[in-house]
Amino acid sequence: MNSGFRTLKALFNYAGVIPNPISVAGKRNGVSFSSEPRNTFLRSDQIKGLIASFGRSAWAADPRSPDHVSFLLFVLLTGCRKSEALNLCWKDVKEREITFLNTKNKRDHTIPNVGMITDVLASRRRSDAEPEDRVFLLTDDRLKIRLKESRETGFLGDWTTHDLRRTFAEHSSLAGIDPHQIGMALNHTPVGVTTKSYLGGNLAKLPSLRRMYQLYQSQLMSYLMGKDDNQGIDADYRGEDKNGIFQDQIIAAFPNYYEFRNPGILDLDQ
């Protein structure tokens, strides 16, 4: 029943009905229609599995076909909302920046295009792509079907796309990133006079997020070495055979990450 009342409350809010009759009825009768916040996030072994799956299939996949694995990894890497990733078009992807337009809080959100994020997008780049084409070629309904099929085969656990956003925040914090930076990366509505009125530009935001992504991506890559999420940040994956993942395969899948993390590393074998 609470779910039905929450839906009605959301509809009245969307319609701009003030005061919301559901809220009024709840206060009058001392009833709360809110639900407990969901706190599900992926653990290190689940993250390792997602990265490994992308590493095995990224360059064999046809970028003209929808791919939910690259979509899920993109959400994990950026912390963006599902709708923001689904609606992302190539015109909004620049060499060094990505901009999500008309987000939930009505503000465009620009993030750096770096490391593993660049690699995921490169795997989806098509030579005939038009600026208005969507990057992942997925609709919400098609994504739901793909996720359902993946859960039935055991590829995905009992987690949602939004849980990837929580995972981004949780493991960023684990890597030692402060809550202000995490909130900035998640595009949460700023609070406080200084943040709202004086730090609204991207001049400091983008360099700050670049440093944050370097730490966060290293945190995720350390799981490929067998580190778990109780051990904090560690060195990058360096070649051990972990669960069938080989160094050349990982570097082939994430060349921009390795160049971003260690400039010149890809020239060592030349």
Percentage of residues of the chain with pLDDT beyond 70? 72
173-222 per-position pLDDT tens digit: 999 999 989 999 999 977 654 455 445 556 788 999 999 999 999 999 98
Task: For residue 63, give every residue at least 6 positions away whose Cβ sits within 8 Å of its Cβ, in sequence order, or none.
Answer: 123, 124, 125, 126
For residue 175, list its beta bridge partners. none
H helix runs in the chain, sequence order: 2-15, 21-29, 44-57, 68-78, 82-86, 115-124, 140-152, 161-174, 179-185, 193-198, 205-222, 247-253, 255-261
Other beta carbons within 10 Å of 136: 23
The enclosing H or E element of 110 equals strand 109-112
How far, CA to CA in Å, does 61 sit from each of 71, 124, 138? Answer: 13, 9, 15
How far, CA to CA in Å, does 185 sit from each of 81, 208, 210? Answer: 11, 10, 10
157-176 per-position pLDDT tens digit: 888 999 999 999 999 999 99
